[in-house]
Amino acid sequence: MSDYPAWEYRMLGDIVGFVGGNGFPERFQGACHGDIPFFKVSDMSLAGNERFLTRANNYVSRELAASRNWSVVPAGGVAFAKVGAALLLNRRRIMTSDALVDNNMMAAVPGTEVHPTWLYWWLQTVDFGLFVQPGALPSVNQGHLRSLRVFLPHYSEQSRIAVVLNTVDEAIAKTEAVIAKLKQVRAGLLHDLLTRGLDLSACEAQAGEHGQLRDPIAHPEQFKNSPLGRIPRDWETLPLKRVALVDRGKFTHRPRNDPAFYGGDFPFIQTGDVALASGESITEASQRLNERGVSVSKEFPAGTIAVTIAADIGDTTILGRPMYFPGSVVGIIPQAPHSIRWIELSLRRAKGRLNALAPQSAQKNINLEFLRPLLIPVPQPLEQKECSKVYEAVNNQIRAESQALEKFVNLKSGLMNDLLTGRVRVPESISIGDSQS
């Protein structure tokens, strides 16, 4: 440890300069009048690498900036909102080129002792909400900000810290991109499976073989018209009550929020819990009933499909354990040999139809008389099972990537806490690559 250069405490205002914002002429709004980006707070929400501020809605010329005596932020400055909601006050972006910011923003410009990306990461640990001064709009108290104590490493170690944190951040971004792509695949697959299904006639009896999607263009003879549109010829359209038991949840006591009925061991899901599950399995609930609570409610077994019939109508989830719910949620228990997942997917796709059935009122809702006769496509049980397997294979990939993402996020949090405080030092052997990255 003695081979590492010592860190020292400095005042932020002594090692970082601050550039204030400028008033933007509204007549230039949305137009390009030069090559210098003029960033507004709203630009910080534009898609792109989260660390960098690269795209603006407005550009001006250097001549205009000079004529108005506007302050230009040099590349490497770290921009942040100084006025607005707490969420925006804690958002940072690195400038990739010389730029201007509006008067709701400002930028920290690193001095010669400070690595730009290290400064970005260090500022991420500062809650600007703690330095807000009162007024019509909350704003950062610059005096307090400048007086912050910084435990400053040597520049070379700042570079190495930045590389480590950038690497984890890029792994997070790549994993998020993979998850987004898989979710797109899943959405397309959901449509294809529910309209084309799988042709199992040529399916070989081997592991991983689930059949191929039917092709309505190449083989129109394999399809027929139905109340649900074109579907495979050997499918049926049946009312939901023919393939599942449909029963409404209940909670008969009023008021429903009486605390005497809660605080026990029995999960009691709400419409919000179902919405958050987004069709996937649910094992926990936002509320729990006690013995008194379950006496006025209704238990549904694991494998039940829960569907909301009030507020956001048609949200679905599959119970991963026995649970209770109120009358705003309906329990659908598929009957053998029908597939739980197939029926859930069919209901998910029917959400638009269910909403169209709801009477137009302040509180939209439907009841069992709409849900029980709801038509769904019904292939043979084997095809339901194979379609469900194909869907679950993509779902498992999403779960695996989501778990990896959670690990990366936790790793990043831990590394920021360790590396930016000097608790853990970064050896000189690490390659720092581009020192401005």
Q: Would you state the pLDDT for residue 207?
A: 45
Question: What mean pLDDT is predicted for residues 101-119?
Answer: 94
Round to the nearest angstrom and report the end-to-end CA distance of the chain.
Answer: 26
How much is the pTM?
0.84
pLDDT at 342 over 90: yes
Alpha-carbon distance of 365 to 327, in angstroms, equals 11
In this structure, of 29-38, 57-66, 130-139, 427-436, the range with the lowest mean pLDDT score is 427-436
Q: Would you state the pLDDT for residue 280?
A: 94
In this structure, of 220-224, 307-311, 338-342, 418-422, the range with the lowest mean pLDDT score is 307-311
**Higher pLDDT, residue 46 or 121:** 121
Q: How confident is the model at residue 32 (pLDDT cuts 50, 70, 90)?
A: low
Alpha-carbon distance of 246 to 229, in angstroms, equals 25
pLDDT at 232 over 50: yes
- For the stretch 388-398, pLDDT in tens is 999 999 999 99
Alpha-carbon distance of 354 to 366, in angstroms, equals 8
- List, in sequence order, every residue forming a beta bridge with 133; answer none if it has no partner: 139
Alpha-carbon distance of 26 to 262, in angstroms, equals 56
Question: What mean pLDDT is predicted for residues 266-284?
Answer: 95
Alpha-carbon distance of 390 to 208, in angstroms, equals 9
Q: Would you state the pLDDT for residue 205?
A: 44
Percent of the chain with pLDDT over 70: 90
Residue 319's identity, in one-letter code, is: L
Residue 80 structure tokens: 């942040």
Q: Which domains does the chain have, with CATH numbers?
A: 8-152 (3.90.220.20), 154-234+379-437 (1.10.287.1120), 236-378 (3.90.220.20)
Query: Mean pLDDT, the chain, as a whole number?
Result: 89
Question: What mean pLDDT is predicted for residues 43-53?
Answer: 75
Q: How confident is the model at residue 434 (pLDDT cuts 50, 70, 90)?
A: very low
Q: Would you state the pLDDT for residue 26?
A: 62
Alpha-carbon distance of 355 to 180, in angstroms, equals 27
Q: Would you state the pLDDT for residue 203?
A: 58
Cβ atoms of 15 and 153 closer than 8 Å: no
Q: What is the DSSP letter of 41?
A: G
Residue 392 structure tokens: 């679950």
Q: Which of 81, 84, 63 lies closest to 72, judged by CA? A: 63
- Biggest CA-to-CA distance, the chain: 79
In this structure, of 24-28, 139-143, 188-192, 383-387, the range with the lowest mean pLDDT score is 24-28
